[in-house]
């Protein structure tokens, strides 16, 4: 009960918060797996099948790739992971893994190499006895909303099938535009053909391109979409006219590549267009910033994207962010917007920028920042330079069905911070329960229209 809770008031606040519903509005769960709902074979599959957080940690610890993404058995990979985790002091994976073992499997034995086999056997026995599957874990965690991450051209077939099941949670698609915007990527002309096929629009210029995008967003909305997302590494530093965006796109359609200036003009033009579109269709816009994708060419060639080779990128200039938000606001108003920073240096700057525009918030600590210190720092930045009562709280950003423990991790830290303020006379206890409730689930549920 007292884990990560810093004082008696924190424990009191947490007792009211620990069982609140979870609104996991941004994750990378696979809808097919939710629909098929297969019982997991073992904890190795659950933990290491697609979690590049863990893969990255194992590489940092010097584990051979055959035990990470190679052809070793899940038991061998699990043993190696426990050996690695045993000495990963201070890494959030240590805390999350410890919490997942206790919450889902009732395992409290120390994480040490000599316990690896016992943890493996005990967890697998629980999986078999409780028939742990994706939907079972979702229900056990009291999850009421899941926002998956879906490409603009996705047909959303599994979302439609999930909607016909008895799952007591909404599984909604999110409109992810990364592939749409990366016009210099290899194979982009093939992507355009797919967009044409899925939208029914022949794309010859920026006008028909935007019409196709709107058609796809309409399709997503028809299937429950309330959220958009973008997480590309190149944030636009200019906003091109329609003529400049058209020229850049036509260069690509003709088989060429856009130079840096033309790419930025295109991206800036599209960011503003998409913002206006999201406002029109009442879509929450998420902007993920300052990520560098696939830093290691060797690792990318070996394992592909989303394998643990991404990292923190350079700080994005304030004026670039301001220009985009200001242009969207002047072009019909900003949709509800959440901005996430991967570079922690940007947190205070981004929070004050967000506060200059209506409907814009700084999001929770993201990816390399969602450790104990990062979460605490982000909460304090929002409290000091924004409005904590409007904070949308935690999300998993994960591919694992066990990652709901991260919401509990966040809630403990949030309760500790507020509890300490109360005990120091810096905040009124009578408002604390509502504050915690709103941050944990109330604010985002209201935005998305989720009934709790």
Secondary structure element (H or E) that encloses residue 118, with its range: helix 116-130
Per-residue confidence band for 124, with pLDDT thresholds at 50, 70 and 90: very high
Question: What residues have CB less than 8 Å from 427, skipping those under 6 apart?
Answer: 418, 421
Residue 259: per-residue pLDDT: 97
Residue 431: inside a domain, yes or no? yes
Q: Is the pTM of this model over 0.95?
A: yes
Number of domains in the chain: 2
Residue 18: per-residue pLDDT: 97
Residue 442: per-residue pLDDT: 98
C-beta separation of 331 from 279 below 8 A? no
How far is the C-alpha of 139 from the C-alpha of 133, rounded, in Å?
10
CA angle in degrees (0–180, nearest 5) for 333-341-180: 65
Final residue belonging to a domain, choices 116, 132, 148: 132
DSSP letter assigned to residue 236? -
- CATH number for the domain spanning 442: value is 3.20.20.140
Residue 425: per-residue pLDDT: 98
Final residue belonging to a domain, choices 114, 132, 150: 132
Residue keyed to tokens 């409007």: 390
Final residue belonging to a domain, choices 132, 158, 181: 132
| Statement to judge: residues 35 and 81 lie in one domain | no
| Statement to judge: residues 174 and 111 lie in one domain | no
Q: Which of 44, 74, 45, 69 is nearest to 59 (CA)?
A: 69
Per-residue confidence band for 370, with pLDDT thresholds at 50, 70 and 90: very high
Residue 264: inside a domain, yes or no? yes
Three-class secondary structure assignment of 255-270: CCCCCHHHHHHHHHHH
Residue 137: per-residue pLDDT: 98
Residue 247: inside a domain, yes or no? yes
pLDDT at 182 over 80: yes
Residue 291: per-residue pLDDT: 97
Residue 213: inside a domain, yes or no? yes
| Statement to judge: residues 15 and 72 lie in one domain | no
Residue 3: inside a domain, yes or no? no
pLDDT tens for 207-234 read: 999 999 999 999 999 999 999 999 999 9
pLDDT tens for 189-199 read: 999 999 999 99
DSSP character string of 151-211: ETT---HHHHHHTTS--SSEEE-EEE-HHHH-TTSTTHHHHHHHHHHHHT----SHHHHHH
| Statement to judge: residues 339 and 439 lie in one domain | yes
pLDDT tens for 279-302 read: 999 999 999 999 999 999 999 999
Q: Which of 340, 236, 339, 334 is nearest to 277 (CA)?
A: 334
Residue 419: inside a domain, yes or no? yes
- No. of helices (H) and no. of strands (E), the chain: 21, 11
| Statement to judge: residues 47 and 141 lie in one domain | no
C-beta separation of 162 from 171 below 8 A? yes
| Statement to judge: residues 122 and 220 lie in one domain | no
Q: Give the Cβ contact number of residue 10 at 10 Å.
A: 23
Q: Which of 183, 171, 185, 201 is nearest to 24 (CA)?
A: 171
pLDDT tens for 399-446 read: 999 999 999 999 999 999 999 999 999 999 999 999 999 999 999 999
Backbone angles phi, psi at 362, to 5 degrees: -80, 135
Mean residue pLDDT across the chain: 97
Three-class secondary structure assignment of 41-78: CCHHHHHHCCCHHHHHHHHHCCCCHHHCCCCCCHHHHH
Per-residue confidence band for 86, with pLDDT thresholds at 50, 70 and 90: very high
DSSP character string of 351-401: HHHHTTSTTEEE----GGG-SHHHHHHHHHHHHHHS-GGG--------S-T
pLDDT at 1 over 80: no
Q: Whole domain around residue 45: which residue ranges?
A: 40-132
Measured distance between the N- and C-terminal CA atoms of the chain, rounded to whole angstroms: 25
Q: Give the Cβ contact number of residue 352 at 10 Å.
A: 14
C-beta separation of 228 from 284 below 8 A? yes
| Statement to judge: residues 286 and 142 lie in one domain | yes
pLDDT tens for 245-256 read: 999 999 999 999
- CATH number for the domain spanning 80: value is 1.10.2020.10
Burial class (CB in 10 A: 0-12, 13-18, 19+), 64: exposed
Residue 175: inside a domain, yes or no? yes
C-beta separation of 287 from 340 below 8 A? yes
Residue keyed to tokens 């800036």: 268
3-state secondary structure of 31: helix
pLDDT tens for 4-53 read: 999 999 999 999 999 999 999 999 999 999 999 999 999 999 999 999 99
| Statement to judge: residues 73 and 207 lie in one domain | no
| Statement to judge: residues 227 and 346 lie in one domain | yes
| Statement to judge: residues 94 and 138 lie in one domain | no
Per-residue confidence band for 391, with pLDDT thresholds at 50, 70 and 90: very high
| Statement to judge: residues 55 and 122 lie in one domain | yes
Residue 2: inside a domain, yes or no? no
Residue 226: per-residue pLDDT: 98
Tell me the percentage of the chain whose pLDDT exceeds 70: 100
| Statement to judge: residues 35 and 53 lie in one domain | no
């Amino acid at each position: 009960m007292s884990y990560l809770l810093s004082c008696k008031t924190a424990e009191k606040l947490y007792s009211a918060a620990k069982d609140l519903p979870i609104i996991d509005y941004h994750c990378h769960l696979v809808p097919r797996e939710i629909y098929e709902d297969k019982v997991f074979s073992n904890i190795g599959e659950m933990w290491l099948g697609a979690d590049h957080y863990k893969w990255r940690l194992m590489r940092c610890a010097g584990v051979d790739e055959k035990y990470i993404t190679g052809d070793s058995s899940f038991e061998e990979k699990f043993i190696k992971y426990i050996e690695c985790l045993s000495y990963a002091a201070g890494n959030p994976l240590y805390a999350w893994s410890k919490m997942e073992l206790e919450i889902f499997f009732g395992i409290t034995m120390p994480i040490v190499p000599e316990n690896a086999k016992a943890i493996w056997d005990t967890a697998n026995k629980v999986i078999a006895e409780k028939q742990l599957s994706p939907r079972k874990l979702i229900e056990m965690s009291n999850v009421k909303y899941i926002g998956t991450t879906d490409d603009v051209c996705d047909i959303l077939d599994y979302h439609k099938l999930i909607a016909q099941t008895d799952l007591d949670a909404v599984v909604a698609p999110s409109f992810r535009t990364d592939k749409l915007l990366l016009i210099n990527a290899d194979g982009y002309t093939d992507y355009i053909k797919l967009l044409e096929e899925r939208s029914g629009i022949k794309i010859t210029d920026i006008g028909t391109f935007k019409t196709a995008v709107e058609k796809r967003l309409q399709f997503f909305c028809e299937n429950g979409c309330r959220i958009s997302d973008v997480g590309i590494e190149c944030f636009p530093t200019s906003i091109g006219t329609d003529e400049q965006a058209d020229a850049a796109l036509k260069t690509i359609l003709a088989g060429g590549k856009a130079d840096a200036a033309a790419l930025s003009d295109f991206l800036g033009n599209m960011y503003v267009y998409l913002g206006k579109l999201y406002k029109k269709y009442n879509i929450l816009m998420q902007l993920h910033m300052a990520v560098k994708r696939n830093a290691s060419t060797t690792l990318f060639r070996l394992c592909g994207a989303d394998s643990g080779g991404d990292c923190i990128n350079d700080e994005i200039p304030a004026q670039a962010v301001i220009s985009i938000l200001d242009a969207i606001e002047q072009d019909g108003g900003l949709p509800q917007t959440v901005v996430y920073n991967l570079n922690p240096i940007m947190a205070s700057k981004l929070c004050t920028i967000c506060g200059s525009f209506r409907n814009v918030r700084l999001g929770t600590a993201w990816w390399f920042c969602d450790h104990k210190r990062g979460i605490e720092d982000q909460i304090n930045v929002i409290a000091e330079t924004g409005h904590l009562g409007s904070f949308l709280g935690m999300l998993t950003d994960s591919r694992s069905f066990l990652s709901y423990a991260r919401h509990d991790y966040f809630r403990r830290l949030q309760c500790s911070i507020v509890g300490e303020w109360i005990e120091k006379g810096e905040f009124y206890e009578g408002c604390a329960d509502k504050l915690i409730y709103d941050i944990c689930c109330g604010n985002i549920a209201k935005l998305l229209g989720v009934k709790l």
